[in-house]
Amino acid sequence: MNESVRGKRGFIIDMDGVLYHGNRILPGVPEFLRWLHAEQKRFVFLTNSSERSPRELQQKLARLGLEVAEEHFYTSALATASFLASQRPNGRVYVIGEAALIHALYDAGFIMDEVNPDYVVVGESHNYTYDRIARAVQLVLNGARLIGTNPDLTGPAENGLVPATGALMAPIELATGAKAYYVGKPNPLIMRHALKKLECRREETVIIGDRMDTDIVAGIESEIETVLVLTGVTRESDLPRFAYRPHHILPDLTHWLGRGDG
């Protein structure tokens, strides 16, 4: 990795596929985090996952042996709640998602409503059932607007890929003919949130991620320098399928300080 990138002031860093797979820390991550602290860099872990709150993410990293303050985390759940609060303050929502998403919306002033909500909001969920899909379909057909926390079709896990919000949203879109509005990466909205947290300009910031279709295109569309790491969803063989390129490619984060094998 060249010095111009390491010399950036702000770092927007994805989590799944960059820092860990499931409960397994990826190569080079502890050394990379020590470098961020030692160089007094500004950094935010920006995840499209809406399953966990910043505190839960901080606690997960702590269980994996990585100490990072809660203030360094920002999620698509928080970005979704912020966006909806700007659109319809104190509105009503029907949510298919985990507690972190529900709490983010509640903290932003929203009321949970299964009868006549303003929005149907979908995020990753382990409580994804036919009954909840059917309810969401009826609510959208009755006029509720359809919102997704992120467009990811899959996410990385220890044993391979698992379905993510974009895939879970598909039955609702197909049954209603509605197209969801997604707040997470690559939406420039969430990138602006990240830059505000960093208190950095885009010219002095880099985004590090494992997905061409969210992380890298988000950086390109926001005019932020991009680093693709090949430890998550995107493989090097996938690159010809995309009309855009990352500025830099790393096999994993051991190569950040030039300590990898390649």
* CA-atom Rg of the chain in angstroms: 18
For residues 232 and 16, the answer to whether their CB atoms sit within 8 Å is yes
Instruction: Quickly list H helices, the chain.
Output: 3-6, 29-38, 54-63, 76-87, 99-107, 130-141, 165-176, 188-198, 217-221
Paired residues of 227 in beta bridges: 208, 248
Pick from 53, 144, 134: nearest CA to 99? 53
- Burial tier of 259 (Cβ tally within 10 Å: 0-12, 13-18, 19+): exposed
Evaluated on CA atoms 135, 185, 63, 42, the torsion sign reads: negative
Amino acid at residue number 65: G
Query: What does the alpha-carbon distance between residue 148 and residue 179 come to, in Å, rounded to a whole number?
Result: 10
What is the C-alpha separation between 204 and 233, in angstroms, rounded? 26
What is the chain's percent helix, strand, coil content, to nearest 5? 40, 20, 40
- 14 assigned to active site: yes
- Could you tell me the two tokens for 6? 């390491």
Q: Which residue out of 14, 152, 215, 252 is catalytically annotated?
A: 14
Active site amino acids:
14, 16
